[in-house]
Amino acid sequence: MSDADEAETLARLAALADSLGTADEPYWTANDVMAAASDALITSRTACDLYHLWAGLTDWYELKPDDREAAVAAMRRAATEWIAVMDEPAARAAYFQKWSQTLNSE
């Protein structure tokens, strides 16, 4: 993936993440984030990490119906935090590490 393609993918993912904050149904927007990330799975490490994160968040929502409110809150937090770190590789790495630990504890 060229740098321009990577930038376009990240911009698309950022727009989706940004819209998740005000979405009436965050679960469906989270699925859109996951689908957009899957478009670049074989060419972008960041897309792979985002896919893994959003798959975990949507699984939380789907597999733990009694915990959906917490899952939605986590989706909103993950989206907001992504916007803040997406342009900084070191911050992205810390973001993915944090969310991996969060999801593994759920």
The per-residue pLDDT for 82 is 94
C-alpha 5/C-alpha 84 separation (Å) is: 20
pLDDT digits (tens, 9 = 90+) for 2-55: 777 778 888 888 899 889 888 999 999 999 999 989 988 887 888 899 999 999
DSSP-derived letter for residue 25 is S
Sign of CA dihedral 40, 42, 46, 51: positive
C-alpha 3/C-alpha 20 separation (Å) is: 26
Residue (of 69, 81, 86, 72) closest to 29 by Cα position: 72
C-alpha 3/C-alpha 32 separation (Å) is: 23
The per-residue pLDDT for 81 is 96
| Residue ranges covered by each domain of the chain | 3-105
- Model confidence, pTM: 0.89
The per-residue pLDDT for 22 is 87
The per-residue pLDDT for 11 is 86
Produce one character per residue of 32-65: b if its CB has 16 or more CB atoms within 10 Å, e if not.
bbbebbeebeeebebbbbbbbbbbbbbebbeeee
The per-residue pLDDT for 1 is 58
Mean pLDDT of 89-101: 96
Q: Collapse the DSSP code of 88 into the 3-class scheme (helix H, G, I; strand E, B; otherwise coil) and give the result.
A: coil
